[in-house]
Structure 1
Amino acid sequence: MRIRAAGAGDAAAIAEIYHPYVAETVITFEDEAPGAEAVGDRIEAAAGLYPWMVAEDEDGFILGYAYACAFRARSAYRFSVETTVYVRRGRSRRGVGSSLYRPLLAVLEAQGFAQAVAAISLPNDESVGFHERFGFVRTGTYAGVGWKLGRWIDVGLWQRPLAPAETPPREPRPLPDA
């Protein structure tokens, strides 16, 4: 398995992986799965500061992807990111997610981000266990904040420091070659 930065050429495969999560689960709160063009726009918009990564097999087939995005829009939040990982159906529990998260978190640390946050639709024991193995700890729950598939969904927040507490923190650096 090879992990590399995602690019516009990966958008169709990423959209394909994401589609069943949108259509069939409450894991994401999107109601309509974005197509390749919209995914490409998201990758492009993140370029320079927020990494997107893909895992591919020896034939170049995309097995999963992970990315970071702004945690919140206001300036004081700029030191924190939200992290996400999706693995192609039928490929979970084979190390794809872990192989993506290790370098994603390492890149975010190197960039100077201070905190990573994972928002997990509940219940989701698999995602909770996954994030806790990476040092995320539960910090709260938003009760009934999402309506999807005919029910209200709680969202749990898990958080992981990316850097020791500093005063003041350093400004996150852009990605190399951005």
Structure 2
Amino acid sequence: MTSLPDAGVRPACPADAQAIAAIYAWHVANGTATFDTVAPDEATWAAKIADFATRGFPFLVAEREGDVVAYAYAARFRDRAAYAHTCEDSIYVTRDARGGGIGTALLLALIAAARASGFQQMIAVIGGGEPASVALHGKCGFAHAGRMRNVGFKFGRLLDTVYMQRDLREEDPSP
């Protein structure tokens, strides 16, 4: 477990599914970082956590005082064999825990876990080009890799997707 002043990072377990579902549901209803318009239920998240464990993909949570306040995971970027060493990350933090360093600690822990899982490249696909997510990924060593304009439609407007990339074979940056 990675320690923070008031939080810790650990592997997710199926018992975390309810908290993860609630975190993601808030982002679906209120943000553009995801283009989902209907949030998956708790059972879907529990199955995903179990599937990731079986496949050896990292799925982490950050806790503060026993409550899950953020989660992150990495899975293969695409299913084709040529992409076997490239993963895509997802990270979501509760609105109350943003800005306190939890996202940075969690993403750095995910980078290390993805590297240990055999991934060599990590891709961030940032819906809406969310400035906080772009800044977080930049702080953790990701470089801008591209922008797809007007590919999503949510909350009555067209949205871009920003791609960022991190070579997992390189040393970790010091945020």
Scaled by the length of structure 1, the TM-score of the pair is 0.87
- For structure 2, the residue ranges without an aligned partner over 5 or more in a row are 1-6, 171-175
Equivalent pair of 1:112/1:163 in contact (CA under 8 Å): no
2:49 partner letter: I
Unaligned runs of 5+ in 1: 165-178
Q: Deviations over 1:24-67 (max 9, x none)?
A: 22110111011111111111221232111111123x11111111
Tell me the distance in 2 between the aligned counterparts of 1:137 and 1:65.
Answer: 22
Which amino acid in 2 is paired with 1:140? G
1:173 paired residue number: none
TM-score by length of 2: 0.88
- Following superposition of structure 1 onto structure 2, how do residues 123-138 of structure 1 map, counting pairs within 5 Å? 123-138=129-144
- The reply to whether residue 8 of structure 1 matches residue 14 of structure 2 is yes
Aligned positions, number: 163
- Runs of 4+ aligned residues of structure 1 deviating over 6 Å after TM superposition are none
State whether residues 6 and 53 of structure 1, in contact with CA within 8 Å, keep that contact through their aligned partners in structure 2.
Answer: yes
CA distance in 2, matches of 1:17, 1:111: 25
Aligned CA-pair RMSD: 1.2
Note if contact 1:5-1:53 (Cα within 8 Å) is conserved in structure 2: yes
- Equivalent in the alignment of 1:96: 102
| Shift, 1:112, TM fit | 2.1
Matched residues in 2 for 1:64 and 1:19: separation? 13
Return the letter of the residue paired with 1:52. F
Identity %: 38
